[in-house]
Amino acid sequence: MIKKMIFLGAILCSILIMPIANAQQFEKMSFQESVTIIYDQKLSNSIIVSIGLETTDNKEIRFPDKLLEKINSNENIRSIVFTNTGNCVIGVTAEQQCIMINFSYEDLKGDGGIRMVQDSARNMGNELIDDLNEVYRTNATFHSTFIHTIDDTNLLLETSGVISGRGSVSATYVTDKKSTDYLFTDLGGVLLPKEIREAGGFYEISRKMSQENNSNISISIIPDKDENFFVFKVTQEIKDVEINVERINFLELFDMEKITRSDYFDGKITPLNSVIQLIIIPEEDKQVKAISTHVITDLTKLENVLKKGWFMSSPAGEMIDLRFLFGESKTVMADELRVETAPWNTSSEIIVYSVEDIVDKPEEKEKKSDSNEEDSSQYIVLGIIIAAGIGAAIFYLKGYKPKH
C-alpha cells in the first residue's frame, strides 16, 4: 500500500519543525488551491489552463457518507470522475457528459480475460450509478466499458494516471451535456461550502473561467482507505494563439494584474496550500533564463518557503516544470510571475537570473534611468544550478499517489 495522499501543506508537518524568528509555525490544512498553465508548442500548439480545488476533507468538498461508504467498501475502484468534457472515451459524442468509474485492468482480470474485465467493471459501476446520478443531478445511463491502452484520456481530462490512464478500465455512463457555467454554479453550490465559495482566491478565477465557451469541468473522487481525495477542477484550452515561451507573463491570460490567495487561509501559516504550476513544452529544448522573484532551492527548510518564489522541479530540457509558492504573501503581482527562457543544450550549465538580489549602487541607478525597458529588466546571476532532487518534499509537491 503506497502511503496515503497528503497535501502540499502536510509535508511540512512531517518534517522536524525548526524555530523561526517570529515564532510562527505552519498549520496543516487539507484544502488546497492550484493553478496549472501549460504552454504547449510541441504537441497541441495551445495553452491549457486548469484551476483545481482539492481536499481530503469531505466537509470542504461534500459527498454523501452513504456514497463514500459504498466506494470505500470496493477496493477495486481507483477513481470516479464526472466531466462535461465531450468525447471522454471512444464513442461518446461532444454533446454528452460522462461519469467514469475507473478500475485497474490487472485487478479485474484475475484468471479471466477481457470479457471478465468488462462484466466486472459494469456490474460494480451499476452498484454506484444511482447514487452518483443523485449527487450530480443527472440521469446518466450505461454507455460502455472502455479499456485504456494509452494515456489519451488523461491528456483530454488533464489528469494523472490514477484517474483514467493506461492500464485502467472505465465503466462509462453518459447523459446530455450541460454548460460549464451551469454545472459550476449548480454543483459548486452543493459540493463546496459557503466559506470556500465566498473566500475568493482561485475559486473566483475558476468561476470566471467557467463562463468561457471552451471551458470544461471535472469532479473527481480518488478513494483511499484512510482519506479520500476530492478534486473540483475547471479547465480551458486556448487555441489559435501565438505561443511565446521566451517571455511569459501568464496572468495576461486571465486579464489580471494580480492573483490573490483564498480568504479561507486567512490567519493561518499555509505557504504550500496555494500553488501555481507553470509547464512549458517548447518546440526545441529550452532552459529557464530569468525569473522576477527568488528561486526556492530547498523545500525542507521552513524559512525558504516563507518567501514567495519559484521552485524548479525541471528547469531545462524538453519540458520545463516550475511551481510558484506564495510564502507568507496573500497577493502576487503579475510582474512577479514573469519567466524568461532561452535555448539550451545538454552540455551547458543551467544558470538562473533573479531580480531579488539586485542591490543598486547610486551610479548604477543613474545608468538604469537612461536605459531602455529591456535593459532595466536585466537580472543578476544567482549562480544556482538546480539540484536534481529535494527528497520527500518533491514527492508531495508533485501531488498525491493512488492506493494501487
Task: Give pLDDT, residue 131.
Answer: 97
Query: In this structure, is residue 341 part of a structural domain?
Result: yes
- Please, which pLDDT band fits residue 27 given cuts at 50, 70 and 90? confident
Q: Give how many domains the chain has, as a whole number.
A: 1
Task: Give pLDDT, residue 401.
Answer: 34
Query: In this structure, is residue 122 part of a structural domain?
Result: no
Query: In this structure, is residue 228 part of a structural domain?
Result: no
Top mean pLDDT of 97-111, 122-136, 359-373 is at 122-136
Domain residue limits at 35? 1-50+243-404
**Beta strand 380-381 with 274-281: parallel, antiparallel or unpaired?**
unpaired
For range 272-299, the mean pLDDT: 91
Query: In this structure, is residue 163 part of a structural domain?
Result: no
Task: Give pLDDT, residue 84.
Answer: 95
Task: Give pLDDT, residue 347.
Answer: 67
Task: Give pLDDT, residue 15.
Answer: 31
Query: In this structure, is residue 128 part of a structural domain?
Result: no
Average pLDDT of the chain to the nearest whole number: 78
In Å, how far are 107, 146, 167, 168, 350 from 111, measured between CA atoms? 10, 19, 16, 17, 51
The three cell numbers locating residue 74: 470496493
Query: In this structure, is residue 198 part of a structural domain?
Result: no
Is residue 187 classed as helix, strand or coil in its secondary structure? helix
Its pTM stands at 0.79
Query: In this structure, is residue 289 part of a structural domain?
Result: yes
- Please, which pLDDT band fits residue 355 given cuts at 50, 70 and 90? low
The three cell numbers locating residue 133: 446520478
Q: How far is CA 373 from the centre of its chain?
A: 34
The three cell numbers locating residue 110: 484475475
Q: Give the helix ranges, DSSP H, for 334-391.
A: 362-370, 373-376
Task: Give pLDDT, residue 195.
Answer: 97
Query: In this structure, is residue 359 part of a structural domain?
Result: yes
CA nearest neighbour of 199 among 376, 13, 29:
29
Angle ∠(95,96,102) on CA atoms, nearest 5: 150
Task: Give pLDDT, residue 335.
Answer: 92
- Please, which pLDDT band fits residue 392 given cuts at 50, 70 and 90? very low
- Taken in order 85, 190, 57, 175, the sign of the CA dihedral is negative
